[in-house]
A and B are shown apart, each in its own frame.
Chain A
Amino acid sequence: KAGVTQTPRYLIKTRGQQVTLSCSPISGHRSVSWYQQTPGQGLQFLFEYFSETQRNKGNFPGRFSGRQFSNSRSEMNVSTLELGDSALYLCASSTDLPDTQYFGPGTRLTVL
């Protein structure tokens, strides 16, 4: 079974721009979660979607948003990018929580 895939793998943007990241979960998985990884703050939970509904949200500003499609694929969007948004963004999928979450390789976002 194919694993979690994320596109693109690398992205460079400038301050003020917006960006959209994509995540395709493992086939049959309906829960998708997003995490941000930075050297300073470590791994932090952004949000979780199940059946196209956001079920849980972490402590991030409204510039961070997401959505999930009927095929369980998910996107996250960051508007008005700031330098501090530079990070590795990881997507994880699960059949449903609390079942184990499996991670994709991440998207490395650099904001200049």
Chain B
Amino acid sequence: GNSVTQMEGPVTLSEEAFLTINCTYTATGYPSLFWYVQYPGEGLQLLLKATKADDKGSNKGFEATYRKETTSFHLEKGSVQVSDSAVYFCALTEANSGYALNFGKGTSLLVTP
């Protein structure tokens, strides 16, 4: 089957610090990869996605590159803001599971002023 592993949180950073949240996956085929973000009391928002190897997804200063050789999709941001405080979920979809989203456990990020 397929699975997603992401680093345990919580992650606490000062404003303007560099962010990396690690995500690795196992899959039997050719998955699409996603980062979703969940703010307190809300549903999930798509942050970025990549559908094939070497694709880079980017949005709102966040980036992630689909690395097939290391089965990774690490999330990065050069300078975090307090408003980035949220829970971040790495996820994949694959044809052999009907494209259901398979999520990692989530990483809580707290950015302090």
Contact = CB atoms under 8 A, between A and B. Distances in A.
Interface of A: 4, 6, 33, 35, 42-43, 45, 48, 55-56, 58, 90, 92, 97-98, 100-106
A48 B101 CA distance: 11
B81 interface: no
Interface residues of B, number: 22
Contacts, number: 52
B103 A42 contact: yes
A43 B103 contact: yes
A105 to B, nearest CB: 4
B58 interface: no
A12 to B, nearest CB: 17
Contacts of A103: 36, 43-46
Contacts of A102: 46
SS class, residues of chain A in contact with chain B: strand
A4 B95 CA distance: 24
Given A90-B44, A103-B45, A105-B43, A97 B103 contact: no
B60 to A, nearest CB: 16
B93 A98 contact: yes
Contact of A33 (B46, B49, B100, B103): B100
A42 B105 contact: yes
B102 interface: yes
Given A42-B106, A90-B43, A106-B43, A55 B98 contact: yes
B49 A100 contact: yes
B89 interface: yes
A5 to B, nearest CB: 10
